[in-house]
Structure 1
Amino acid sequence: MQNNIRQDKIIGSRRFSNYFWTVFLFIGGSGFLLAGLSSYLQINLLPFTKPTELIFIPQGIIMVFYGTLSLFLAISILLTLIWDIGSGYNEYNKVENLVKIIRKGFPGKNREVLLTYPLNSVRAIGIKISEGLNPKRSIYLCLKDERKIPLTPVEQPNTISNLEDQAADLAKFLDLKLENL
């Protein structure tokens, strides 16, 4: 029974880069906001500098703007971390003859995204590799009606050999052909 069901776990937004950017934006944004407020209030809110020497218009107000913007970005990334947006799994079930793609979305009525496809509607497993400034390496579920459903998460590009091995293993499990997109 276990040989007929395969689950591939997908890591969502809880990656090191998101934790790094949340902390970086929060610290930087707090510094900018406190510096801008210090120039307005003429009270030194930052112990290691003298932001009271800044002229509030234009320098202080710009620092308040950038600090506030940075804090809002940090909070939005933090919320995606807390809600674990994009996490889930892909399930390939030969017993039920189904492919299920489950992902977490934003809180609300449709928090969990569930896509289900019968195995007989799947034409092939596809690989798409594009190099350049923004490289993309993805595995797709190619359906008979020409839709291509991405199976890999959005993350740092996987090595080409690792991606090919994963796609070949999946194609072999589902007894499908492998194609280059």
Structure 2
Amino acid sequence: MSWQSEHIWIEVRTGSRKLSNFFWALVVFLGSLGFLVVGTSSYLGKNLISFFPSQQILFFPQGIVMSFYGIAGLFISSYLWCAISLNVGSGYDRFDRKKGRGCIFRWGFPGKNRRIFLRFRLKDIQSIKLEVKEGISARCILSLNIRGRGTIPLTRADENWTPRQMEEKVAELALFLRVPIEIEI
């Protein structure tokens, strides 16, 4: 989602609260719970849930491995749910031509650097860079090349933009900021 006027451009960035993240967090949680139930059932020697036959599984070594996978999956699942609940990666990009300032804001994990806030002058922007990787895992990444700060990415690698949509976005932003475009293929 973006908002644009004659002098201000605001681009709102979605974070971890995406449908795919909810799906994978749920799949990992349910899968790890299944592994943990089978490992525990093999330890106790009886089926805790009827559709998980664990009597053929010996506790040593298969039951231990299943329990380990279950516990590891619960940790991964809890990480995903924490990222979703904190909406890590969300924020906005704001460019104000009238004041000649730009800022990029993102939320991170709790701690010292929970809020990531970068301010810069628009005249320090050297170019807008579009990185296109083709192949099996094709991706387009939009970033700013800022004097003294290097390259700062604006989009994530997993955002599903078509090359055409990304080209249009880059052209609009470059026209608004009055800077050149760099394309890296």
- Quickly name the TM-score band, shorter chain normalised: over 0.9
Q: What CA distance in whole angstroms lies between the structure 2 residues aligned with 1:130 and 1:53?
A: 48
SS of the equivalent of 2:92 reads strand
Which residue is 2:77 aligned to? 74
Which residue is 2:143 aligned to? 140
Superposition deviation, residue 109 in structure 1: 3.0
Superposition deviation, residue 95 in structure 1: 2.1
Q: What CA distance in whole angstroms lies between the structure 1 residues aligned with 2:163 and 2:80?
A: 29
8 Å CA contact 2:86, 2:109 repeated in 1: yes
1:158–1:2: structure 2 CA closer, same or farther, 3 Å change rule? closer
Which residue is 2:132 aligned to? 129
Superposition deviation, residue 175 in structure 1: 1.4
Identity value in percent: 35
Which residue is 2:117 aligned to? 114
Which residue is 2:54 aligned to? 51
Q: What CA distance in whole angstroms lies between the structure 2 residues aligned with 1:11 and 1:161?
A: 20
Q: What CA distance in whole angstroms lies between the structure 2 residues aligned with 1:71 and 1:149?
A: 33
Give the ranges of 4+ consecutive aligned residues of structure 1 lying more than 4 Å apart after TM superposition: none
Which residue is 1:15 aligned to? 18
SS of the equivalent of 1:96 reads coil
Superposition deviation, residue 144 in structure 1: 3.3
SS of the equivalent of 1:51 reads coil
Superposition deviation, residue 156 in structure 1: 3.7
Cα-to-partner distance string for 1:119-141 (whole Å, 9 max, x where unaligned): 11111111110112332311111
Q: Kindly report which structure 2 residues correspond to 1:165-176, keeping only aligned pairs within 5 A, or say none.
A: 165-176=168-179
8 Å CA contact 1:138, 1:150 repeated in 2: yes
Superposition deviation, residue 145 in structure 1: 4.1
**What is the alpha-carbon root mean square deviation over aligned residues?**
1.6
Which residue is 1:63 aligned to? 66
Cα-to-partner distance string for 1:79-111 (whole Å, 9 max, x where unaligned): 000011111010011122111010001112321
Comparing 36-45 with 142-151, greater Cα deviation is found at 142-151
Give 5+ residue unaligned stretches, structure 2: none
Q: Which residue type is aligned with residue 50 of structure 1?
A: P
Superposition deviation, residue 143 in structure 1: 2.0
Q: Which residue type is aligned with residue 125 of structure 1?
A: I
Superposition deviation, residue 146 in structure 1: 7.5
TM superposition score normalised by structure 2: 0.91
Q: What CA distance in whole angstroms lies between the structure 2 residues aligned with 1:47 and 1:10?
A: 45
8 Å CA contact 1:10, 1:153 repeated in 2: no
Q: What CA distance in whole angstroms lies between the structure 1 residues aligned with 2:149 and 2:69?
A: 45
Q: What CA distance in whole angstroms lies between the structure 1 residues aligned with 2:57 and 2:132?
A: 50
TM superposition score normalised by structure 1: 0.93
* 1:35 lines up with 2:34 in the alignment: no
8 Å CA contact 2:132, 2:140 repeated in 1: yes
Counterpart among 61, 83, 92 of residue 89 in structure 1: 92
Pairs aligned (count): 181
